[in-house]
Amino acid sequence: MMESLLYPCVTATRMKLSLDGMWKFSFDRDKKGEEKHWEKGLSEYEMMPVPGSFADLYTDKKKKNYCGDFWYETDFFIPGAPEGEGKEKRTLLRFGSVTHRAAVYVNGQKIGEHEGGFLPFVFDITEYICPGVNRLSVKANNELNEECLPCGTVKKNKDGSLTAKPYFDFFNYSGIQRSVELLFVPETSIEDYSYVTELSKGEAKVDLEVKLRIKEASEDVNVSVELIDEAGKIAADEKLCNADRKSLLQCKSKAEAFLCEGDGDSASGCSEYVASVLLENPILWKVRDAHLYDIIIRVTDKSGKLLDEYRDRIGLRTVEVKDKDILVNGEPVYLKGYGKHEDFSILGRTFNYSVARRDFECMKWNGANCFRTSHYPYADEWYRMADEEGFLIIDEVPAVGMMRSTHNFVDAGTGKYTYFFETPTVLKLKKNHLQQVGEMIARDKNHPSVIAFSLFNEPETTSEYAYEYFSEIFEAARKLDPQNRPLTGALEKNSSPEKCRCYPLLDFICLNRYYGWYISGGEDFEEAEGKFRDELDRWKALETDKPFVMTEFGTDTLSGNHSLPGTMWSEEYQNDYYEMNFRVLDDYDFIRGELVWNFADFATSEGIFRVGGNKKGIFTRDRQPKSSAFILKKRWEEI
Task: Let me know if 552 is a catalytic residue.
Answer: yes
Q: Quick one: DSSP state of residue 413?
A: T
My answer on whether omega of the bond before 562 falls inside 30° of 0, hence cis, is no
Distance CA 590, CA 323 (A): 9
Q: Residue 429: which H helix or E strand, with range?
A: helix 426-444
| Candidates 146, 552, 571, 594; catalytic one | 552
Distance CA 364, CA 361 (A): 5
Q: What's at 54, amino acid-wise? A: F
Distance CA 336, CA 596 (A): 8
Q: Residue 50: beta bridge partners?
A: 21
Q: Residue 472: which H helix or E strand, with range?
A: helix 464-480
- SS3 assignment, position 354: helix
Decide the pairing of beta strands 548-552 and 509-512. parallel
Q: Residue 17: beta bridge partners?
A: 182
| Candidates 115, 191, 309, 458; catalytic one | 458
Q: How far, CA to CA in Å, does 166 sit from each of 130, 354, 398?
A: 42, 29, 13
Q: Quick one: DSSP state of residue 525?
A: H
- Identify whether the C-beta of residue 99 lies closer than 8 Å to the C-beta of residue 85: no
What's the distance, Cα to Cα, between the start and end of the chain in Å? 49
Q: What's at 637, amino acid-wise? A: E
Distance CA 522, CA 461 (A): 29
* CB contact set of 171 (below 8 Å; sequence gap of 6+): 55, 343, 348, 602, 603, 604, 605, 613
* CB contact set of 245 (below 8 Å; sequence gap of 6+): 260, 261, 262, 263
How many Cβ atoms are within 10 Å of 355's Cβ, its own excluded? 18
Distance CA 19, CA 510 (A): 40
Distance CA 461, CA 306 (A): 53
Distance CA 282, CA 300 (A): 28
Q: Residue 394: beta bridge partners?
A: 372, 452
Q: What's at 477, amino acid-wise? A: A
Q: E strands of 107-188, at which residues?
A: 109-115, 121-124, 132-141, 152-156, 162-166, 180-186
* CB contact set of 328 (below 8 Å; sequence gap of 6+): 286, 287, 317, 318, 319, 392, 451
* CB contact set of 398 (below 8 Å; sequence gap of 6+): 116, 117, 118, 149, 150, 375, 376, 377, 436
Task: Let me know if 458 is a catalytic residue.
Answer: yes
* Residues annotated catalytic, as ranges: 458, 552
